[in-house]
Amino acid sequence: MNMNNCVRWGIVGTGDIANKFARAVTNAQGAKPVAVASRRAETARAFADTYGIEYSFGSYEELMAFDGVDAVYIALPHKYHVPYTEKFLRAGKHVLCEKPIAVSAGELERLQAVAAEKNLFVMEAMWTRFLPVMSEIKKVIADGKIGDVLEVSADFCYNNPDHSHHAFAGDGDGGSVLDVGIYGLNFALMFLGEDVQRVQAMARMENNADLNMNALLQFKSGAMARVSSALALDKPQLGYIYGSRGHICVPAFYGASEFDVVVDGETVTHTAPFKGNGFEEEIEEACRCILAGKAQSSIMPLTCSMTVLKLMDEIRGQLGIVCHAE
């Protein structure tokens, strides 16, 4: 592809999620992986060799100074998202940042100001919103198959035996809400809107982190949502959308490629596979926006990220979580 029609990407970090991005970006239309940065030069070089990436750097600052990339994907632990998003923006790079893009609404406000100042594209990498299955679900709802949507539930829970993982951090940047609860909140808002009137949350806490959490949300329309998340509890990872005539079940809703529509006891399965590992669609949207000179995506604008962050602020406040910035 002609480089004039291609976004040159740098990858910030070399962990599991960075590997998933690297596999996807090679398949994504309008994207080319050019560079990777890690804290150690040998780690970056090994990652680059694995994916056929030309340039590797042993510090994030070297990538900031490199003029061979147009955009970066930030795949660092939560507490580094805001500082490095801001640094790369100030270095003139567009940014796709792994979720959560910030750990509080106040932090995101700071990023919004920097992005506006630099006139650069920024998007939170909430891949769920870009999955083809989500568009198909919206079509089924728009066609009235399940009637009026009255309630949504979403459970993203798993049992991680590695308590040294950053999700267990007690500095306010850990916990299941930030790690996986964010998916359930996005799922609820996709089908119920963003006008949440009331939130009630409870959790099992340890070391200033929520190990498993349940939240109830009520919307201005009267519709409700129940979202649960966990780092140390296994539950079926299901999303449900309940309507006045029937319901939709979405297995592994955060990365789904199919869903069931149940009306009058009859089940119809719909399939809508994603391109590769599920990251391609969000990468292609970022590329389209960057190449078109857009500052934000209409599918995942920063206003959506802000709404979810404000909900997480409220939930975490009710749980008594003390954040690092406080």
CB atoms within 10 A of CB 96: 31
Terminal Cα-to-Cα distance of the chain (whole angstroms): 48
Longest dimension (CA), the chain: 60
DSSP 99: S
Q: What are phi and psi of 295, to 5 degrees?
A: -85, -25
Closest CA to 254 of 176, 314, 185: 185
SS3 content of the chain, % helix, strand, coil (to 5): 40, 30, 35
Residue 221, number of CB atoms within 10 A of its CB:
13
Is 118 designated active site?
A: no
Catalytic residue among 79, 99, 294, 310: 99
| Number of neighbouring beta carbons within 10 Å of residue 55 | 18
In contact, 237 and 156? CB cutoff 8 Å: yes
Angle at CA of residue 318, ends 239 and 111, nearest 5°: 80
Structural element, H or E, at residue 138: helix 132-142
Q: List residues with catalytic annotation.
A: 99
